[in-house]
Structure 1
Amino acid sequence: AEYVRAAVCLRGLPKAKYADIDAVTTRMDDLVYSHFALNSKIHFVANFLPWHRWYVQLHEDLLRTECGFTGTQPYWDWSIDADAKDMPNSPVFDPVTGFGGDGKRTGSYEPGFQRCVIDGPFANTNLTLAMGWPNMNDPGNRLHCFTREFNGGEGNDENGEAIIGEMQVGAYNSAVMNTIYAFDKFPDMANMLEGLPHAQIHSVIFGDMGPATSPNEPLFFLHHGNVDRAWAKWQGRNATRLAEYTGFQDSNKTIPASITDAMPILELGDTEPIVKDYMDIQAGPLCYTYSSI
């Protein structure tokens, strides 16, 4: 309840950055827009894991400093729901104790207001970054309701409703995670973690969780908390892994990555964070652990 309160608060504060971008209106939008604008520099490149570790910490810091948050950052171990083959009924989607459920068709023909989340603490809220359903992947911004579309609309029944099914649980169950933990090399672990369970969770919740503006979805930070936990768990199996970081800075694989690289953050801070400072969750600017690791 305390985390939800603070998350709602951040979405109600005015923006502090990006004065020249009209679609950025709230403090949360500052974070959402940054993630969107940096998309190609923070996904499918070496810094995916340390950058998002920094980003989740920044979000938690803002909850504390600007919304009086006194709790801890929750994470969502989706492998539990996957193993139970009951993802649509995950506790995180509970309308009372969780974050609300799937979006529902509203009957409206107005783009962006056709599949809205109508229960939970973020119900019936509007967003200004991204296009909204059914044009989630189109470029541009349009006022739209907070949207989810379980299973990404990959199949529809005779009434046009999405066939939800098991929501691709084979991509993020414990068997997949154990395969990831078994890798010896950072790039192998990181590429599978990002490309399979991480990506599939974005796809099966879809709606605002789908495009590069995905921090619009409140579950983004619980999802990435679990991605970070997986990396920390992998690191914990061998102390040398706290310094293991290889790969490329660009998706074309032309610029080798280094642990001394600065990470891009646009207007989110005055100084770009350095990868090496975000390798260990209990050193440098970080000081946390996970309840299960």
Structure 2
Amino acid sequence: MRIDISINNGGDVSARYLTWAAAPLRLRLLDATQGPDIPVTISEDRGPNGGSVRFCATQNGRYTATLKLAMPTNGTSVILYVQGKFGVPSEADGDVSIVVSDSDLELGRLPVMVRIRKDANQLTVAERDRFVSAMAQLNNRGTGRFVDFRNMHVAGLADAQAHGGPGFLPWHRAYLLDLERELQAIDPAVTIPYWRFDRRAPNLFTTDFIGVPDVLGTVRFGPANPLQFWATDGVQGILRRQLGASPGARADPNILSETQTLALGSSYQKFRIMQGNPHGSAHVNYFGGSISSIPTAAKDPLFFLLHCNVDRLWAKWQSQAGRYDAKLNAAYDSGPTPTSLLAGHNLNDTLWPWNGIVTPPRPSTAPGGPMAGSSSVSAPGPSPLVRDMLDFQGVVNGSAKLGFAYDDVPLP
């Protein structure tokens, strides 16, 4: 007698990834003699420093470390729910297993990962190396898929698809999600880490990680760091001129702290002024070079860690203020009418370039194609709307979750 275990409605290994949000867990007893239901216990088996998971018979109930249930012997599936235990993410792929047992007999197990975006300064060496390796492969010395992401940020500037309005945060959330899914196609254990630019980050600004600029602004990497081969626009290397002390050694006091950012206001209209400070200040206060200008910022891989923190601040504000529901005016200001803002900034607008629209007022090109899919979640689909970016943890609608979470942003 054995048991079949599947997660996220998929039997493939690519579906075996969790966040803090609930995911469906399907169990089915195999090779059992027909008769009364068989009592089983579901629990976890964690590896050293592994993630931790919790179980519940219903999606919105109380999650526990173990769960007892009765399995039908006729092969009928039983559906329950599993989520990562907040504060205990994985460090490696498959470092925690879901185990189903009958008394002392193990009937089946499924290795999973609690895959969470983390503080770049706190990554393990292995996590750091997986990320830089995946980024380098996506770039492929300037010839890889990363070209599309570079072009997205440039082409979207002229027609204000990504900046200058309320769509700034949703657009960049979609942008990060698309990039992250492409990285996960290379290494499914990778997430984009975030740079907390209001704190010093000595472990990030090293030659083994994001690089250290010399006096001319040329970023230097260690001999084992594959980012040394980074190239954009046909030119190898990264230009990042340091202004004053390194952010690895100090935090700029003129950049709003996390506490100050979260206190900007309880409505999205007030909160989104963070596009100027801390976001804009983080771009220009530490460095000159590519990172300090919108048309060139995405040439530097540091850009994505910076924006991951911008997105984390929005996510934390959403969690603390309860701003996931697109129906709430305080969750997103789309203007008094559905089309009162620039295209791409209204709540029900599709997001360029994933919508493929190349007629005015959209840009004349749409690099990258549709949004990359995920085996763990179905949202947001190939052509996301602005509103699809709000409920990223599936708080309002469980099917809306986007498959990412942050290490310090719990479910509300």
Q: Give, in angstroms, the shift of residue 264 of structure 1.
A: 0.9
Counterpart of 1:28?
146
Match of 1:273 among 379, 384, 391: 384
Is this contact kept in 1: 2:290–2:296, CA < 8 A? yes
Alignment deviations for residues 168-193 of structure 1 (CA, whole Å, 9 cap, x no partner): 4321334532433xx022121112x1
Q: 1:292 to 1:126 in 2, by over 3 A?
A: closer
Counterpart of 1:190?
272
Q: Give, in angstroms, the shift of residue 79 of structure 1.
A: 1.9
Counterpart of 1:127?
231
Alpha-carbon separation, structure 2, partners of 1:45 and 1:71 = 31
Asked if 1:118 corresponds to 2:220, the answer is yes
Over aligned residues, Cα RMSD in angstroms?
2.6
Asked if 1:148 corresponds to 2:240, the answer is yes
Alignment deviations for residues 124-160 of structure 1 (CA, whole Å, 9 cap, x no partner): 545343xxxxxxxxxxxx7353111122xxxxxxxxx
Alpha-carbon separation, structure 2, partners of 1:34 and 1:48 = 14
Alpha-carbon separation, structure 1, partners of 2:146 and 2:334 = 31
Asked if 1:223 corresponds to 2:343, the answer is no
Alpha-carbon separation, structure 2, partners of 1:2 and 1:124 = 15
Asked if 1:202 corresponds to 2:283, the answer is yes
Counterpart of 1:245?
332
Is this contact kept in 2: 1:10–1:63, CA < 8 A? yes
Asked if 1:37 corresponds to 2:141, the answer is no
Counterpart of 1:86?
none
Alpha-carbon separation, structure 2, partners of 1:239 and 1:254 = 24
Secondary structure (helix, strand or coil) at the match of 2:133 reads helix
Alpha-carbon separation, structure 2, partners of 1:227 and 1:274 = 20
Q: Give, in angstroms, the shift of residue 240 of structure 1.
A: 4.3
Q: 1:103 to 1:28 in 2, by over 3 A?
A: farther
Alignment deviations for residues 186-209 of structure 1 (CA, whole Å, 9 cap, x no partner): 121112x11111111211233221
Query: Which of the two has higher C-alpha Rg?
Result: 2
Q: 1:123 to 1:56 in 2, by over 3 A?
A: closer
Asked if 1:74 corresponds to 2:193, the answer is yes
Secondary structure (helix, strand or coil) at the match of 1:92 reads coil
Asked if 1:100 corresponds to 2:208, the answer is no
Alpha-carbon separation, structure 1, partners of 2:245 and 2:323 = 42
Alpha-carbon separation, structure 1, partners of 2:164 and 2:259 = 23
Alpha-carbon separation, structure 1, partners of 2:226 and 2:288 = 16
Asked if 1:48 corresponds to 2:165, the answer is no
Q: Give, in angstroms, the shift of residue 43 of structure 1.
A: 0.8
Alpha-carbon separation, structure 1, partners of 2:207 and 2:392 = 32
Is this contact kept in 1: 2:205–2:211, CA < 8 A? yes
Counterpart of 1:91?
203
Q: Give, in angstroms, the shift of residue 279 of structure 1.
A: 0.6
Is this contact kept in 2: 1:117–1:123, CA < 8 A? no
Identity of aligned residues (%): 26
Q: Mind listing any 5+ residue stretches in structure 2 that lack a counterpart?
A: 1-128, 354-365, 371-381, 395-399
- 1 or 2, which has the higher helix percentage? 1
- 1 or 2, which has the higher strand percentage? 2
Normalised TM-score (structure 1): 0.71
Q: Give, in angstroms, the shift of residue 242 of structure 1.
A: 3.3
The residue identity in structure 2 corresponding to 1:148 is: R
Q: Give, in angstroms, the shift of residue 122 of structure 1.
A: 5.8
Normalised TM-score (structure 2): 0.52
Q: 1:275 to 1:225 in 2, by over 3 A?
A: same
The residue identity in structure 2 corresponding to 1:71 is: V
Q: How many residues align?
A: 235
Is this contact kept in 1: 2:218–2:239, CA < 8 A? yes
Q: 1:236 to 1:69 in 2, by over 3 A?
A: same
Counterpart of 2:93?
none
Is this contact kept in 1: 2:351–2:384, CA < 8 A? yes
Match of 1:258 among 326, 346, 355: 346
Displaced runs of 4 or more, over 6 A? none
